[in-house]
Amino acid sequence: MLTAQDTAPAMTAAQFGKLSQIVHSDTGIVLSEAKRGLLVARLSKRLRALNMADFGAYCTLLDSDRGKEERRHLLSAITTNVTAFFREGHHFDALARDVLPQLIARAKAGGRVRLWSAACSSGEEAYSMAMTVLDAFPDAAQHDVLILATDIDPEVVARAESGVYPTDTIAAIGGQRLRKYFDQQGDSFTAKPALKAIMRFGELNLHQPWPFSGTFDVIFCRNVVIYFDTDMRRSLWQRFATVLSSDGALFIGHSERVDGPAAQQFRITGATQYQLVTPTSPSH
Local confidence band at 80 (pLDDT 50, 70, 90 cut-offs): low
pLDDT, position 37: 86
Question: Residues at the annotated binding site?
Answer: 81, 83, 87, 125, 151, 205-206, 222-223
When the pLDDT of each residue in the chain is averaged and rounded to a whole number, the result is 90
Between 3-12, 58-67, 142-151, the lowest mean confidence (pLDDT) is in 3-12
Nearest to 282, CA basis, from 235, 236, 215: 215
| pLDDT tops 90 at residue 218 | yes
Q: Identify the CA nearest to 168 among candidates 189, 152, 149, 153.
A: 189
Do 241 and 276 form a contact (C-beta atoms < 8 A)? yes
Residue 42 appears among annotated catalytic residues: yes
- Angle ∠(237,241,245) on CA atoms, nearest 5: 150
**Residue 222 confidence (pLDDT):** 95
CA 38-41-44 angle, to 5 degrees, is 140
pLDDT in tens, 200-211: 999 999 988 999
Give the integer Cα–Cα distance in Å for 154 and 159: 9
* Statement: residue 84 has pLDDT above 50: yes
Could you tell me the residue ranges of all domains in the chain? 4-78, 89-276
Domain 4-78 coded CATH 2.60.40.420? no
Tell me how far apart the alpha carbons of residues 97 and 269 are, in angstroms, rounded to a whole number.
12
> Which amino acids are annotated as binding site for S-adenosyl-L-methionine, given as ranges?
81, 83, 87, 125, 151, 205-206, 222-223
Residue 12 has pLDDT above 80, yes or no: yes
d(CA 204, CA 256): 21
Check 26, 42, 54, 135 and give the catalytic one. 42
Other beta carbons less than 10 A from residue 49's beta carbon: 9
Q: What is the pLDDT of residue 278?
A: 61
Residue 139 pLDDT > 60: yes
pLDDT computed for residue 75 by the predictor? 79
Give the count of alpha carbons within 13 A of 23, CB side only: 27
Q: Is 48 a catalytic residue?
A: no
Range 184-211 average pLDDT: 95
Topology (CATH) of 89-276 = Rossmann fold (3.40.50)
Q: Which of 36, 114, 151, 234 is catalytic?
A: 151
pLDDT digits (tens, 9 = 90+) for 232-271: 999 999 999 999 999 999 999 998 999 999 999 999 999 9
Question: What is the average per-residue pLDDT within 186-206?
Answer: 96
Q: Which residues pair with 147 in a beta bridge?
A: 115, 199
How much is the pLDDT for 129? 98
For every residue of 140-170, DSSP letters joined together read GGGTTEEEEEEES-HHHHHHHHHTEEEGGG-
- How far from 175 is each of 167, 183, 202, CA to CA, in Å? 12, 12, 29
Residue 4's pLDDT is what? 43
β-bridge mates for residue 274, sequence order: 250, 268
Edge-to-edge order in the sheet of strand 182-185: 164-166, 188-191, 182-185
- What number of H helices and E strands is found in the chain? 12, 10
pTM above 0.85, yes or no: no
